Structure formats: structure tokens, C-alpha cells
């Protein structure tokens, strides 16, 4: 009799639990207005649960954890970190990240520049003439410059991948999606500014009517699907060395495309590229400041990280781009950019030199013997890279006449 009673109680408990979970699910997708006659409480999940059916403790026991903001932070702290010392430093410089949010990032909303500021307003009279003028200017831009512009735009449009990367850096993540920490605010603010770049270039190319936008869109989807791996390994040190390098590289590329566009008579595109390059320059300054602050607290750690990354190669964000047809698309795009002088091996060497000077690595003292050797290696790298780059580029010039033309679906299969 007691067994039957126990079984009956268990069945009743399970039915009640299912009912509570069903109510929770319903509340996730519908209005949370509950009839006044219903007796309710609020669980840690912020959903309606009848406390006479399932208590908070029972719910927590079943779920295994309570997911309110405080307990979530405790769970995250309990997680084993790969780089505990690096995280300690990152937490210490969080006020610097907060300052960068206020000092480097622009205001949002009405006071911030937006893509529409550079484009014809299709709701106003005379927009047709503005579009015609745009098309007239872009018609004078050669196909090879257009290919590099499209490649840069596609790189910018893969922004979801880059924010995902930022959230893998230990100590810098945004665990709830709206976390109020300095690092989370920096990540979201940086992303919001970067989001404008792809939007603006995409709309400009669309209105310009010179490119196959569908094949470009296919390439964007492939790139986001494929992702990219800059070998950051969840390490904030590696992540910030990478972004310090990459933001400067992106600034150089946009600046040079704008310069070329201006030479061929497209003053609007020159202005657009200059605006985007300006954003990249501000962001570069922030990431390089983060590394500068890390150097003050853990010089050995950052220098060993920097040296290890330089023994490999800084991976470009669009390395895995494809249009589903051209397997060598990224290499072909890079070759065109190099031929035009938009972004070359010389630029790569110059960026390393800039970082060495920016962080004053020539004069840094108090290093361990191992870090001192790494410092010497890094400081000699720019000149070594430059010599190799010059030799490679001179060799390429000699065989340039034999360099095959490359066709791109982005420009309707035309060759450059």
C-alpha cells in the first residue's frame, strides 16, 4: 500500500514538473501576463512557476544549477582557466578598457556617422541623379581596384566571426550578452562601429551596378560559414597582439583603395574608404594600448607571446573565402592587392616595425633571460622581413609578364 502511495506521489510530482516546465516554455515565447486567479512565484530563470508544485530548491536540484546573474558569475569563476595569470592581468587593466569605450569609441545614435550619410537618400527628390553620378564615377575605377574593394568589403561583412573571436579571449568575454563589464562593453561597442563598414561598402557596390552582387553575397555566406582561426587559443595576450596587427593592416588596405579610387576620379569612394580607415585607426590605437598596459604588468608574458606569434604568420581574416567555384579565390585576391600595392609584404614588415616602436621594445628592461632573447629576435624581425619582401617583390616583377590573368565571379567573370 505504501509503495502504491509512493508511486502515486511520484507520478503526481512528475506531472506537476512537466506542467511547470510547459508553463516556463510558454512564457519564453508569449506574453507573460498571468490571470489574477493563478498563484505564481518567480524562479531563478525569471519564468512563472507555481511554488506549490515545484519549489525553487527542487527546480535547482533538477536543473543542476541556478542561472541568475550572480550564480552564473560564480560558475564562470569556477571554470578552469587556460591562462590564469593572463586573466589576472586582463582584469587589472579593465579600467583601461572602460576608458577606451569612452575615449576611443564614438557616440552612438544620431551623433554617430552612419552608412546613409554617404549614400543617396532614395526617399528624396533627385536621388536618381545622385545614383547616376555615383555610377559615372565608379565606372572609371579599373576592375583590379574593384576586386580589392570587394575583397575588403567581404572581409568586413564577416563581422559575426570576429565578435565570436573576441568572446573566446579569457577574461574578456560577454557571458550573458549584455554584461556590464568594461570588456563586454568594449566588445559590443567595437562591433557596432565595425558593423557600419560592411554595410556602407555593400550598399555602395550595389548602387554602383558594376559588380555581381549575388556572387559577392555567396562569398560572404561561405566566409562566415567557414570562419577563421587566427591561432589566438583563447589567450587574451595573443588576441590583442593579433588585433593590434590586424587593425593596422585593415587601415592600410582601406586607405590605399581610397587613394586609388581618387586617382581614377571616384571622390565619393575615396571619402568612404577614408572614413572607414579612420575607424580602423582608432581601434588600432585601443588594442595597442591594451598590449602596452599588459607589458607594464607582465612584460615577459607579452614578449614571449609576441615572439611565438611572429614565428608563425598573422592570418588574414578572409583567408577561407570562397565563392564556391574558385578554390584559389583568396590567393588570387591577395595577388591583385599585392600587384596594386594596396597591401604587400613590405606593409607586413612595416607593421611589425611599428609595433616594436609603439611598445618601445628596443628599450624595455628587467626581462628574464629567455624573454630578453625573444625581445632581441622581435626587434630584428622588421628588417629581416623587409629584405625578404623586397627580394620576393623584385623576383615577381621579373616574371610579371608571365603572371596569368585571374577571373572573378564578383565582376561577372572578367579577368584582371
User: Which of 77, 108, 230 lies closest to 161, judged by CA?
Assistant: 230
Active site residue 58: no
Q: What is the DSSP string of 19-66?
A: HHHHHHHHHHHS-----TTS--EE-TTSSEE-TTTS-HHHHHHHHSS-
Grouping H, G, I as helix, E, B as strand and the rest as coil, residue 408 is coil
pLDDT on residue 61: 66
Among 157, 194, 199, 298, which one carries the catalytic annotation?
A: 194
Among the ranges given (81-85, 188-192, 287-291, 377-381), the one the predictor scored with the smallest mean pLDDT = 81-85
Q: How far lies 343's CA from each of 148, 279, 339, in Å?
A: 10, 18, 9
Is residue 393 very low, low, confident or very high in pLDDT (cuts 50, 70, 90)?
Answer: confident
48-49 and 41-42 as β-strands: parallel, antiparallel, unpaired? antiparallel
CA distance 226 to 161: 9
**Residues with Cβ within 8 Å of residue 95, at least 6 apart in sequence:** 182
Q: In angstroms, rounded to a whole number, what is the distance separating the alpha carbons of residues 19 and 355? A: 60
Give the per-residue pLDDT at 60: 65
pLDDT of residue 310: 96
The confidence score (pLDDT) of residue 351 equals 98
- Who's near 326: CB < 8 A, 6+ residues apart? 332, 407, 408, 409
Measured in Å, how far apart are the chain's first and last C-alpha atoms? 87
Per-residue pLDDT tens over the stretch 190-209: 999 999 999 999 999 999 99
CATH code given to domain 83-411: 1.10.620.20
Q: Is the pLDDT of residue 150 over 50?
A: yes
Q: Do 376 and 369 contact (CB within 8 A), yes or no?
A: no
Quick check: is 401 catalytic? no
* CA angle centred on 306, ends 315 and 190, rounded to 5°: 60
Instruction: Label residue 111 by pLDDT band (50, 70, 90).
Output: confident
Q: Where are the domains of the chain?
A: 2-71, 83-411
Phi, psi of 110 (to 5 degrees): -65, -30
pLDDT of residue 18 exceeding 50, the answer is no
Considering Cα of 349, then 355, then 357, then 360, what sign does the dihedral take? negative
pLDDT band at 392 (very low <50, low <70, confident <90, very high): confident
Percent share of the chain, pLDDT over 70: 80
Q: What pLDDT, on a 0 to 100 scale, did the predictor assign at position 227?
A: 96
DSSP 265-281: T-HHHHHHHHHHHHHHH
Is the pLDDT at 128 greater than 50? The verdict is: yes
Whether 101 has a pLDDT exceeding 60, the answer reads: yes
**Distance (Å, whole) CA 191 – CA 122:** 27
Cβ(248)–Cβ(358) below 8 Å: no
> What one-character DSSP code corresponds to residue 121?
-
What is the rounded distance in angstroms from the CA atom of residue 68 to the CA atom of residue 46?
8
| Active-site entry in 212, 280, 323, 374 | 280
Q: Is 86 a catalytic residue?
A: no
* pLDDT for res 73: 60
Catalytic residue among 50, 55, 113, 176: 113
Residue 390 falls in the annotated catalytic set: no
**Exactly one of 155, 219, 243, 250 is catalytic; which is it?**
250
> What is the per-residue pLDDT for 396?
72
CB 231 within 8 A of CB 315: yes
Axis crossing angle, helix 299-310 with helix 369-398, rounded to the nearest 10 = 30
Instruction: Check residue 75 and give its pLDDT.
Output: 58
Q: How far apart are CA 313 and CA 292, in angstroms?
A: 21
Which of 173, 193, 199, 279 is flagged as catalytic?
A: 279
Is pLDDT above 50 for 122?
Answer: yes
Q: In which band, very low, low, confident or very high, does the pLDDT at 49 lie, cut at 50, 70 and 90?
A: low
Amino acid at each position: 500500500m505504501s509503495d502504491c502511495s509512493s508511486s502515486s506521489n511520484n507520478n503526481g510530482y512528475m506531472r506537476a514538473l512537466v506542467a511547470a516546465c510547459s508553463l516556463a516554455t510558454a512564457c519564453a515565447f508569449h506574453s507573460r501576463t498571468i490571470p489574477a486567479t493563478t498563484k505564481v512565484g518567480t524562479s531563478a530563470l525569471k519564468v512563472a512557476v507555481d511554488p506549490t508544485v515545484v519549489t525553487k530548491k527542487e527546480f535547482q536540484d533538477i536543473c543542476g544549477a541556478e542561472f541568475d546573474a550572480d550564480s552564473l558569475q560564480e560558475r564562470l569563476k569556477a571554470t578552469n582557466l587556460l591562462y590564469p595569470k593572463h586573466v589576472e592581468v586582463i582584469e587589472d587593466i579593465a579600467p583601461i578598457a572602460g576608458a577606451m569605450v569612452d575615449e576611443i569609441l564614438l557616440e552612438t545614435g544620431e551623433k554617430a556617422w552612419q552608412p546613409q550619410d554617404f549614400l543617396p537618400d532614395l526617399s528624396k527628390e533627385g536621388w536618381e541623379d545622385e545614383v547616376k553620378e555615383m555610377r559615372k564615377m565608379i565606372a572609371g575605377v579599373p576592375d583590379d581596384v574593384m576586386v580589392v574593394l570587394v575583397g575588403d568589403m567581404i572581409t568586413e561583412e564577416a563581422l559575426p566571426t570576429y565578435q565570436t573571436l573576441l568572446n573566446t579571449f579569457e577574461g574578456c568575454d560577454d557571458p550573458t550578452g549584455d554584461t556590464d563589464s568594461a570588456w563586454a562593453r568594449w566588445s559590443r561597442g567595437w562591433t557596432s562601429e565595425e558593423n557600419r563598414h560592411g554595410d556602407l561598402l555593400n550598399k555602395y557596390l550595389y548602387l554602383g551596378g558594376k559588380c555581381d552582387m549575388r556572387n559577392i553575397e555567396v562569398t560572404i555566406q561561405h566566409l562566415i560559414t567557414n570562419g577563421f582561426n587566427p591561432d589566438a587559443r583563447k589567450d587574451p595576450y595573443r588576441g590583442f597582439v593579433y588585433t593590434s596587427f590586424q587593425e593596422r593592416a585593415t587601415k592600410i588596405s582601406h586607405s590605399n583603395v581610397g587613394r586609388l579610387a581618387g586617382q581614377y576620379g571616384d571622390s565619393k569612394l575615396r571619402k568612404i574608404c577614408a572614413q572607414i580607415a579612420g575607424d580602423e585607426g582608432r581601434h588600432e590605437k585601443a588594442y595597442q594600448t591594451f598590449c602596452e598596459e599588459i607589458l607594464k604588468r607582465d612584460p615577459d608574458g607579452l614578449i614571449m607571446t609576441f615572439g611565438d606569434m611572429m614565428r608563425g604568420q598573422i592570418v588574414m581574416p578572409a583567408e577561407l573565402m570562397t565563392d564556391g567555384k574558385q578554390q584559389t579565390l583568396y590567393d588570387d585576391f591577395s595577388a591583385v592587392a599585392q600587384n596594386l600595392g594596396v597591401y604587400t609584404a613590405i606593409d607586413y614588415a612595416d607593421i611589425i616595425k611599428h609595433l616594436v616602436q609603439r611598445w618601445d621594445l628596443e628599450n624595455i628592461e628587467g626581462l628574464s633571460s629567455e624573454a630578453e632573447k625573444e625581445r632581441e629576435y622581435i626587434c630584428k624581425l622588421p628588417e629581416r622581413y623587409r629584405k625578404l619582401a623586397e627580394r620576393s617583390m623584385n623576383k615577381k616583377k621579373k616574371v610579371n609578364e608571365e603572371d596569368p590573368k585571374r577571373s572573378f565571379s564578383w565582376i561577372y567573370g572578367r579577368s584582371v
